Chains A and B, each alone.
Chain A
Amino acid sequence: MRPLILLACLAIAGEVRAQSLPAEPVSVANGRFVFGAEVFATFGDEDPGFFNYTDYEYSAFRNVRLAVSTELRLSRRLQVLAELRLDHGDDLSPYALFVRVRPWPDRRFDLQVGRVPPSFGAFNKTVYAYSNLVIGQPLAYQYLLSIKPDAIPGNADDLLRMRGRGWLSDFPVGVTRSSPGLPVVNTARFDTGVQVHGVAGPVEWTGAVTTGSLSDPRVGDNNGRPQFSTRIVAQLAPGLRIGGSAAHGPWLDSALDGAIPDGVRAREFTQSAVAADVELSQGAWLARAEILRSAWNLPALGTPAIDAPIVARSLIVEGRYRLWPGVSVSARGDGLWFSDVAGSAGVQPWEANQRRLETALSVSITRNLIAKLAWQRNLRQGGRVRRDSLIAAQLVYWF
């Protein structure tokens, strides 16, 4: 009930304030410097199962964020883009900072260097509230798994012991203190490297070489080898897009080199991921889906051994229907399923399989002031809390 009352109060306050707030990106110096922003506040239930946490401290279902994005247009060929975020009122971070070069201004070909946006996946933008149909993010893009780049399980039992505890996991090899694990695709930060992007007729393609991995984007390199990622999207018809993504690169920290026997280096253990997606829209309908598979190689240290790559598979399906102008209903169903590992107590998935259903009502008070109310149901086959229903309200303002 409390989120409902709060949402109503904020909506009324928002209606009053919206009349004097910027409605469009602010442009100065004759369009050479442009900035926009997104401000949102999400008020959600307690989440004792850590289903929506992006690390141990912060839940995506309880957040206040101010994100300011800027673009300095030095010329038609050269721009500098950046985004600063203030999460939870106290965690300021530079989310993105890169140079965009367009060698031929009249051709859609760009080279980007710096902390660049992801090249993989169709649901990266769910991290922006205004482009997210619901409030929570898809599991594959947010849910924390037990695996970490700086610590590894000594054997299969160590891995299975951490099932459903990704928000604060620990392993006996490497950095042994408890800390949050990694999601399949990490949207909490951008990776650093070089990215090329082009559009040729109905086909749009992107490729990147970056320092981190899909699960662990980084500013500085921690393993001496790059990650390669790519994405291709084809607009088959005005309302039909299909896409495919792939990424491959090392994911373990070089600090683990000493812990791995036989002279094998950490950088030889890779994360490989592939995904396929489709978007359909017509009239008041919008629907998207993505299937994704990611595999991580781990060293086989002790017995029972982890003798094959551990795999996560995801399916995400979401849709939106506009009931009236400014009023939409949305739903997303998604799941994460994991490959089996043989431990001392038998064979079971290396992480706890999980499913999520979320529905949301979205009301645009003005074009750029949106109130959402969402209900989310989580089911997990492991961990201390195995199922939970959560309610959250969100107010989003952007320009």
Chain B
Amino acid sequence: MRGAISIVAILLVPLAFAMLSLEATHAPAPAAGFLGNRAGQSSRPAAGGIRGRLDLRRLAGPTERRPEVAEPGAGGPRDLPDLRRGVVYLEQAPRAAFDEREPARAVMDQRNETFVPHVLAVMVGTVVDFPNSDRTYHNVFSLSRVKRFDLGRYAAGRSKSVRMDRPGIVRVFCDIHSHMNAFVLVFAHPFFDVTDASGRFELAEVPPGTYTVVAWYEGEARATRPVTVTAGDWTDLEMVVP
């Protein structure tokens, strides 16, 4: 009898939490879309381009430390992640965008108990380095279906790498510091950009055509907009994430 009660309890508890959960962070894999290049903002793209601003009406709060009830004191200082950045990308891209390219490298640092940057967008095949710039150990891992990895514990000054070989969203955590988390968005095409601190983005060298532009923020595709790109010109686009 006691066993039956226990089973019912464990099945009901998650249900109760599901009802209480504040925000589900469903993160559909970015399906398809040109690597942003705001350095060339003033120049006209040879093909076409989309540029504009992503207006984040409500910034997410940083992940808090769990209440440290079992600790004899509070934790040390840490940096807070830059949560002003989203990712804008094309939902679908021309076939030519999927041609093989030279694998690139990117860096996600671990600094003062924070992943920097908090959001990294790369193309399939990119090797992401995870240097440890703290004095303490970190243990980077991801259980995302797109890329499961566990880099183990390694000390300051060392770095380990992961090749992102499938498109999708890779949620990155530290096994030692539960408040450390970050996103790596892996795209099969080059038409994406991480917004700057004021929300600006550019998708350059987009072939003329009609596309759906997606605005992604903190784990979710939050807004979509159809857009038509004409040859040799920028298409301006304002997107709002409520």
Binding site for B on A (CB under 8 A): 6, 10, 13-14, 17, 19-27, 30-31, 34-37, 39, 41, 43, 62, 64, 66, 69-71, 79, 81-83, 89, 95-96, 100, 102, 106, 108-110, 112, 116-117, 119, 124-125, 128, 195, 197-199, 206, 208, 231, 235, 237-239, 281-286, 322, 324-326, 364, 366-367, 395, 397, 399
Contact = CB atoms under 8 A, between A and B. Distances in A.
Contacts of A281: 137, 153
Contacts of A89: 5-6, 9
Nearest to A37: B17
A151 B31 CA distance: 70
28 contacts: A13-B14, A19-B26, A21-B17, A21-B21, A22-B17, A24-B63, A25-B65, A30-B61, A62-B2, A66-B13, A83-B67, A89-B6, A112-B73, A117-B70, A117-B72, A198-B73, A238-B137, A238-B155, A239-B155, A281-B153, A283-B154, A286-B153, A322-B152, A324-B148, A325-B142, A326-B143, A367-B173, A399-B66
Contact of A41 (B10, B15, B22, B73): B10
Contacts of B61: 27, 30-31
Contacts of A237: 155
Interface residues of B, number: 53
Given A17-B15, A21-B21, A284 B152 contact: yes
Contacts of B136: 235, 238
A363 to B, nearest CB: 10
A34 B13 contact: no
A240 to B, nearest CB: 10
A226 B66 CA distance: 31
Nearest to B147: A325
Q: Which 4 pairs show the lowest CB-CB distances between chains A and B? A: A197-B73, A71-B67, A110-B73, A283-B152
B11 interface: yes
Interface in B59-116: 61-74, 76-77
Nearest to A368: B178
A197 B72 contact: yes
Contacts, number: 162
A34 B154 CA distance: 30
Given A22-B22, A324-B148, 13 more contacts: A20-B21, A25-B63, A31-B62, A34-B66, A43-B3, A69-B66, A70-B67, A208-B72, A238-B156, A284-B152, A322-B150, A325-B148, A367-B173
A206 B68 CA distance: 15
